[in-house]
Each structure stands twice: as C-alpha cells, then as structure tokens.
Amino acid sequence: MTHLTSLIGWQGLLFLLAAWLGPALGRSEEDARTRRLSGLSGASNDMAEDIECEVCKEAAERFPKLLEQRPSSEAEVLDMVSTFCEGRKHGDGFDYTLEQEGWVVTELDGMHKLERKPIYRDSRRNVMDSFAQRDGMKLACINTVKEYESDLARFLWKKARSRGELNSTEISERLCYKISRACKKRRRRPRNRDSQTGGSEL
C-alpha cells in the first residue's frame, strides 16, 4: 500500500477506491429504492381501490365546467376525457388538482378514505405521504374515468349536443354507479400494513 501510494499519491488512491466501490454502492442504493417503490406501488393500488368512489364523484363535479367550452365533436370530448386524469404535461393531472385543493388520503384500520382538510403530517393518523397519495388518486381516476373514456365521452357529447342542462349529480350517477360501478363495488378486505410495504413507512 505504501509503495502504491508513493507511485500515485493519496488523491490517486482515493480516486481508485471510489471507482471500485462506486458501482457496488450505487447498486445497493438502487436496490433499496426499487424495494421502496415496490412497497409504495402495492400501497397505492390498495389506496386507489378504496377511494375510487370518492375520486369518481369529485371527477364528475369537474365535467360540467369543462363542457362549458362547447366542444364541436365527440372526438373533442373524448380527448378531454382521455387527458383528464393524467393531464397533458407533468403536474397537470387530476391528482395534482386534488392535492392543491387540500384533499388527502387517510388510513384507518387498513382502509383508506379521501378527505378534504388542511394538509399536515401526523403519523398517528397514518396520513400517506405526498407521492403515494397522488399515485393512489391518479390510479383511482384512471380506473373510474379513463378506463371508461369512450362510454363517458359518448354520454357527455350526447348531453352537450342536446343543449340540455348537464349537472354533476347526473354525471356522477351515470359514471360512478352505472358505467364504472365504482360506487357499487364490494369493498376489499383490509390487509396488514406491513405486508403491503415490507414493514417500512411510506
């Protein structure tokens, strides 16, 4: 080691050690990140399933205002519906809209609920972190709106073309109870939190 140090100097030796250890450390960090994201994904799926009805109803509240733009064709309505959940660019989706309006996802006894309240962190009440909340909200929107975009667009276009009054209650009844049936599904059984996240907190 002394002979090697005299040849390349301490700075050179540190550089070699960094080059040797760097990839191993990087893999370790990446593996940890993958495990964490995997846990978050499972939690987000359960969250989305629990809050589908509430998210669907909130989505229905937005469509009358969107249709005030007076779309000229069913294709235009379909484009509006298909981009509603995820937006046209990052930060433009319905999940970000809900978050900005103060909607949060709370957890009690392994089940999730969408509530509107000031955003705060309280581990005792098991409030999900921002990433997992938005992911769950977005998945719930995709499952109840985007997955049924053609049927919803056809219904909205028919109402828009007839010039009849379109209210959120009628859209909610059609979308959340008849088309997606998000508010008529049997609720899932709660799962142990540790089994969803590998024992780690979100």
pLDDT tens by residue, the chain, 202 residues:
555 445 455 555 455 555 655 554 444 444 444 444 444 455 678 899 999 999 999 999 999 998 888 889 999 999 999 999 999 887 789 999 999 999 999 888 889 999 997 655 554 444 447 788 899 999 999 999 999 999 999 999 998 888 767 899 999 999 999 999 999 876 666 655 444 443 333 4
Burial of 48 (0-12, 13-18, 19+ CB in 10 A): buried
Dump the DSSP string for 173-193.
IIIIIIIS-TTTSPPPPP--H
Rounded Cα gap, residues 13 and 94, in angstroms: 52
Query: Do the beta carbons of residue 113 and residue 52 sit within 8 Å?
Result: no
Rounded Cα gap, residues 42 and 49, in angstroms: 11
Task: State the helix-helix crossing angle for 2-66 and 130-144, rounded to 10 degrees.
Answer: 40
Bridge partners, 114 (sequence order) = 105
Q: Cite the beta strand spans of the chain per DSSP E.
A: 103-108, 111-116
Residue 202 in tokens = 């979100």
Rounded Cα gap, residues 89 and 92, in angstroms: 6
Give phi and psi for 101, each to the nearest 5.
-85, -5
Query: Do the beta carbons of residue 21 and residue 61 sit within 8 Å?
Result: no
